[in-house]
Amino acid sequence: MRFQTLYEGRHFLVPSFLATVFFGWLATDWCGWLWIALPAALVFVFCANFFRDPDRPIPPGDEIVVAAADGVVDAIEIVEEKEVLHRECRRVSIFLNVFDVHVNRAPIAGRITFQQHHPGTYLDARDPYCHQKNEALTWAFTGSRGTLVVRQITGAIARRIVPWSRTGEAVEKGHRFGMIRFGSRTDIFLPLDAEVLVKIGDKVEGGSTVFARLAADAGYILTPSQVLL
């Protein structure tokens, strides 16, 4: 557990813990209170599990891209990335259910060169159009082999994206740059010449699953003049 991650869950963890203790104490005198203490305890356990944030080994190598989130790969397609790179990329999408770790991690080492919030709707994260319509936060990470775009997307339950990093910050691969509260989606936009090492249906872990391998020649690199300040 990390304090930063647990702090994001304070509005859920503290009330459910206090309710568990209080009604559990009352239940020692009258069993009827147990039916309130038990649901409170279940909520506390669920939240403690949701806001977990395990340390993980980070695969080395500038060419190695790691997963930016925990979850299941459910879409791989070629699209035009119109916000940052303005070119065709391969979008690999990860669906996060409420039992996954929801901390997002940098897919490569480098510098954060773009960050932009987008208001939107709150369609179910399993909806095929949620990545186009839902509230989202777009990031760009520029390393020695190019720039990768990551987009955090809300869902029907996950309605808050929490950024922990900022534009211009240098980060290591696997750096925790933010989280999405409850079920959601994370998209990673890879250059077309990158070798994708996951397939639809694969379960991945943020920061540790080898997601893709970048080509030897540097791809598109976001220049300082293109950084959103």
CATH class of 64-216: mainly beta
The C-alpha atoms of residue 107 and residue 92 are separated, in whole angstroms, by 12
The whole-number pLDDT of residue 216 equals: 77
Maximum separation of any 2 CA atoms in the chain, in Å: 71
Kindly report the pTM of this predicted structure: 0.84
Domains of the chain by residue range: 3-50, 64-216
Mean residue pLDDT across the chain: 86
Residue tagged active-site, from 144, 184, 208, 225: 184
- Residue whose structure tokens are 């932009």: 116
In angstroms, the CA 36 to CA 103 distance is 31
* Residue 184 annotated among the catalytic residues of the structure: yes
- Greater confidence (224 vs 36) lies with 36
Each residue of 168-190: pLDDT tens digit? Answer: 999 999 999 998 877 689 999 99
In this predicted model, which residue has the larger pLDDT, 219 or 64? 64
Which has the closest alpha carbon to 209: 68, 93, 24, 98?
Answer: 68
